[in-house]
Amino acid sequence: MSEQQVFSFSLEQQDDFAFLIRFDKDTPSLLTDEPEPLGKNAGPSPSRLLAAGVANCLSASLLFSLRKFKNNPGPLTATVTTHMVRNDKKQLRVGSMAVVIQIDSAADDLDQLDRAIATFEDYCVVTQSVRSGFPVSVTVRDRDGKIL
C-alpha cells in the first residue's frame, strides 16, 4: 500500500501580481511578487521560489545523508543558478538549474562520504520531481573547495 501525503494552503492577491501565501500549520505567511514591469518585486517570484525549493531540498537531503553515517559536516551553504529560456512559443520557462552545495568540513574528515554523495539526490523530493521538466546539475564541495 502506498503512502499518500497531502497538503493544502491558500494564496490571496494583495496588489497586482503580489500574493500572500498563507501556509498550513504554523508556518509564517510569505509575500510573493513578480519583478518589474509586471509586479513591484515586493517578494520572491514563483520561479525564485522553485529554485529555492530545489536548493533547499538538495541541501537538506545531503545533510540527512551525511548525518546518517554519524557525520557532523558543519553548516552547509548552497548557491542556485537558474537559466530562464523561451520555448518555441516564446513563453518564458525555467530551462535549467545548477546547484552548488558547500559543506564546512574537509572531505577526509567525513565517514562514508562516497555513499552519502552517491545517494542523497535520490531522496530530494523536489529535485527528482522537477527533473522531468528541466535539467538540474548538482556539485558538492568541501570547505577547501574540493569537488566531492
- Once rounded to an integer, what is the mean pLDDT over residues 69-81? 96
Identify the CATH homologous superfamily for domain 46-141: K homology (KH) domain (3.30.300.20)
- Once rounded to an integer, what is the mean pLDDT over residues 58-65? 98
Q: What is the pLDDT of residues 90-130, one digit of tens each?
A: 999 999 999 999 999 999 999 999 999 999 999 999 999 99
Residue for cell digits 499518500?
Answer: 4
Report the alpha-carbon angle 131-133-134, nearest 5: 65
Q: Please state the φ and ψ torsions of residue 72, each to the nearest 5 degrees.
A: -120, 90
Q: What does 76-136 look like in DSSP terms, one character per residue?
A: EEEEEEEEEEE-TT--EEEEEEEEEEEESS-GGGSTTHHHHHHHGGGG-HHHHHHTTTS-E
Q: Tell me, what's the pLDDT at 3?
A: 85
Q: Where are the domains of the chain?
A: 1-44, 46-141
**Whether pLDDT at 2 is above 90:** no
Mean pLDDT, the chain, integer: 96
**Whether pLDDT at 53 is above 90:** yes
**Whether pLDDT at 75 is above 80:** yes
Q: CA 52, CA 50: separation in Å to the nearest integer?
A: 5
- Residue 2 vs residue 63, higher pLDDT: 63
Q: CA 69, CA 115: separation in Å to the nearest integer?
A: 9
Q: Tell me, what's the pLDDT at 1?
A: 55
Calculate what percentage of the chain has a pLDDT beyond 70: 99
Q: CA 145, CA 136: separation in Å to the nearest integer?
A: 20
**Whether pLDDT at 38 is above 80:** yes
- Write down the pTM of the prediction: 0.92
Q: What is the pLDDT of residues 22-31, one digit of tens each?
A: 999 999 999 9
| 6 DSSP 8-state letter | -
Choose among 32, 102, 31: nearest CA to 73: 102
